[in-house]
Structure 1
Amino acid sequence: MVLADIQEYLKLIPAVNRSPQHAVWLTYDDEADALYVNFKKPSYATDSEMTDDDVIVRYEGEEVIGFTVLRASKRVKKSA
């Protein structure tokens, strides 16, 4: 696979550096139109909450271990 624009991926570096484990796993489910972001693998959520922006934040105890972005494709700005 050839990356058309690696610059877009390089923009992720600050977010990864700020993440709890300095690691981020991303998975996009086209059928569900959901982006899954995990800071820990394996992770076992003990609780979750839905934000007003339709993001599900997952917790393991008091620690945020990831979040799910619903309707992810609708959040992408269309290029001109």
Structure 2
Amino acid sequence: MAEEVKKIVDAIPVLLEFPTGRFHVDYDREADVLYISFERLQKATDTEVTDEGILLRFRDDKLVGITILNASRFKVKV
């Protein structure tokens, strides 16, 4: 349990730098996809895909979510 808490605490500085004060994170381990929503109901109207396999989800010009494919490749190497 202490290791899990340490991982969460170590992530706090990154979470505090998010562009919004509220966000929701879901991770599908089987599909290795990380979903970050800046609004609980995204209702995106457009999606841009980056070269890194990151989907930027927009409603009009507002970023409402990010989907990261193959998310485990971003793990920190210790």
Coarse TM-score class (shorter-chain normalised) = 0.7 to 0.9
Q: Does 1:38 align with 2:42?
A: no
Does the residue aligned with 1:5 lie in a helix, a strand or coil?
A: helix
Percent identity over paired residues: 31
Higher helix share: 2
Alpha-carbon RMSD: 2.0
CA distance in structure 1 between the partners assigned to 2:9 and 2:23 by the alignment: 13
1:1-80 to structure 2, matched below 5 A, reads 2=1, 4-79=3-78
Unpaired segments ≥5 residues, structure 2:
none
Give 1:9's aligned amino acid. I
Shift in CA distance, 36/15, structure 1 to aligned 2, threshold 3 Å: same
Moved more, 21-30 or 7-16: 7-16
Which runs of no fewer than 5 residues in structure 1 stay unpaired?
none
Query: TM-score, with normalisation over the residues of structure 2?
Result: 0.79
Per the normalisation by structure 1, the TM-score is: 0.77
CA distance in structure 1 between the aligned counterparts of 2:42 and 2:2, rounded to whole angstroms? 29
Q: Per-residue deviation at 1:69? A: 0.6
CA distance in structure 2 between the partners assigned to 1:38 and 1:11 by the alignment: 21
Distance 2:25 2:68 in 1: 11
